[in-house]
Copies of this chain bind each other. A is one copy, B any other.
Amino acid sequence: MRSKIRTVQPKPLFLNNENVCIATDFYQLTMAAGYFDCKRNHTSTFELFVRSLPEHRSYLITAGLEQAIHYLKNLKFTGMYLKYLKNLPIFKNVSRGFFDYLRNLRFSGDLYAVPEGTVVFANEPILRVTAPMIEAQIIETYLLSVINYQTLVATKASRVVHAAKGKDVIDFGTRRAHGPQAGVLAARACFIGGCVGTSNVLAAYELGIPAVGTMAHSWVMAYDDEYESYKDFRKIFPHDTVLLIDTYDTVIGSRLATKIGKKLKGIRLDSGNITLLSKRVRKILDDAGLKHAKIVASGDLNEYKISEMLNKGAPVDSFGVGTEMVTSKDAPALGGIYKLVEQEKEGRLIPKMKFSEDKATYPAKKQVYRIYDNNGRFKKDIVGLIDEKFNTEGLLLRVIKNGKVLYKTPTIQEIQKVAKRNISLLPDRFKRLDCKASYPVTVSGRLRRIRDKTKRSLGTS
């Protein structure tokens, strides 16, 4: 029987600059072929936004634009991918000119975007793309997949960091992220949301952020004697001796750790009742004259648990947060969508909208205008047309013009600063962890009138 099983060479399923061209939903390509053959490749505008915020969230922190820009700069269809598409039966009636068009396709349109690290709310465009319909359509899936995930995680991280009240939060989530690349993207988004470092070495290398981590239980278990394992670790890492003390018994582990002496930089607790244990261990450390030694907590932490621990006075100095942060576990998907809002036909701009049940959209190119109170804090947002004036700058900035990137991508440290400043300007009631507050986002009168007019004019024959 065995010999009949067909076998393959194991594949890593990595993305790269070549195969991203087909990292899209199949219907984007069938529609693209249709637009081509039906001569419907009009200049079109799509907007990416979130219809409603995930549970418990009153705001989002935008993230993922850098990866969107890289994709648009590098998008092209090459040999074997074109050949694969050409040979699919569904494309049998499609003119061969379509595949030549695809071969020459580069992103030639405009991209406007809210910079990464910005606080935004439901129904506010985060990206706006204006391009020939085929280009604008094909890019939907990839744009959504980079913006949705990083925005989801940057938002979650900002909640965790807020709960930690100034204590350090470190991303420990790679092993539970949704695959190897998700671990790297999560590390980036967590840093934007305010984390101070990541356990993911590749992310640290690529992004220039701190790689953090010391020992696992396996280090301790590799020795017959727990204290021997601590001594050896101190010998090799004399300035970074943070010891994991819960492999066998946390309290005994903490006493052994004190025997390390002044070189002990800290201990990590990864199980049990961390509030109680941290108090007990703090006293053991203090009594041993190790007031400088830090307590790191980890183990299925989230913003709710951290908040409760700190409210109960847990003397924890930093938090390693994994699974819950990188999967945004209490709300593991962001429902960002990308909708056609306008097309140019024979020199005229035609507003577009859909009005499916509960899924209606606003037509026309939009801008988000943020209004500040007298203290410079966020007061309300107005979603309006791009040429409206509300005595404030629009949140969407020009990023790409006619295919050329004009935007200077900030470093991740700069983006983290933007996010920190945004969060500081957001009134406290929107930062509460357990309940959703509705930030005032209004629609301008002009936009409402265009919507009503479009709704009347559109519809089925």
Q: Say yes or no: A459 contacts B248, CB within 8 Å.
A: yes
Q: List A residues 82-104 near B (Cβ within 8 Å).
A: 84-85, 88-90, 92-94
CA distance A252 to B356 in the complex (A): 12
Q: Say yes or no: A219 contacts B179, CB within 8 Å.
A: no
- Determine if A380 is an interface residue (Cβ-Cβ < 8 Å): no
Q: Say yes or no: A175 contacts B215, CB within 8 Å.
A: no
Contact for A178 among B66, B149, B411, CB less than 8 A: B149
- Determine if A81 is an interface residue (Cβ-Cβ < 8 Å): yes
Interface residue range, chain A:
35 or more
A31-B216, A327-B327 given; name 20 further pairs at CB < 8 Å.
Answer: A6-B413, A6-B414, A11-B70, A11-B206, A12-B70, A16-B16, A30-B213, A30-B215, A37-B236, A40-B223, A44-B222, A145-B179, A146-B180, A149-B178, A178-B186, A221-B352, A222-B352, A227-B460, A247-B355, A249-B460
Knowing A26-B211, A145-B183 touch, does A10 contact B73 (C-beta < 8 A)? Answer: yes
Q: List A residues 224-250 near B (Cβ within 8 Å).
A: 224-228, 232-233, 235-240, 246-250
Q: Which residues of B contact A74 (CB under 8 A)?
A: 12
Knowing A94-B236, A144-B175, A180-B146 touch, does A356 contact B271 (C-beta < 8 A)? Answer: yes
Q: Say yes or no: A181 contacts B227, CB within 8 Å.
A: no
- Determine if A288 is an interface residue (Cβ-Cβ < 8 Å): no
CA distance A219 to B42 in the complex (A): 12
- Determine if A69 is an interface residue (Cβ-Cβ < 8 Å): yes
Q: Report the stretch among A119-127, A329-337, A368-376 that lies at the interface.
A: A329-337
Q: Which residues of B contact A25 (CB under 8 A)?
A: 172, 174-175, 199-201, 213
Knowing A26-B211, A180-B23, A232-B34 touch, does A12 contact B13 (C-beta < 8 A)? Answer: no
Q: List A residues 156-184 near B (Cβ within 8 Å).
A: 172, 174-184
Q: Say yes or no: A354 contacts B248, CB within 8 Å.
A: yes
Q: Which residues of B contact A408 (CB under 8 A)?
A: 2, 5, 7
Q: Say yes or no: A358 contacts B175, CB within 8 Å.
A: no
Q: Which residues of B contact A220 (CB under 8 A)?
A: 354
Q: Say yes or no: B183 contacts A23, CB within 8 Å.
A: yes
Q: Which residues of B contact A355 (CB under 8 A)?
A: 247-248
- Determine if A202 is an interface residue (Cβ-Cβ < 8 Å): yes
Knowing A6-B414, A13-B181 touch, does A205 contact B22 (C-beta < 8 A)? Answer: yes
CA distance A3 to B453 in the complex (A): 43
Q: Report the stretch among A134-142, A311-319, A388-396 that lies at the interface.
A: A134-142
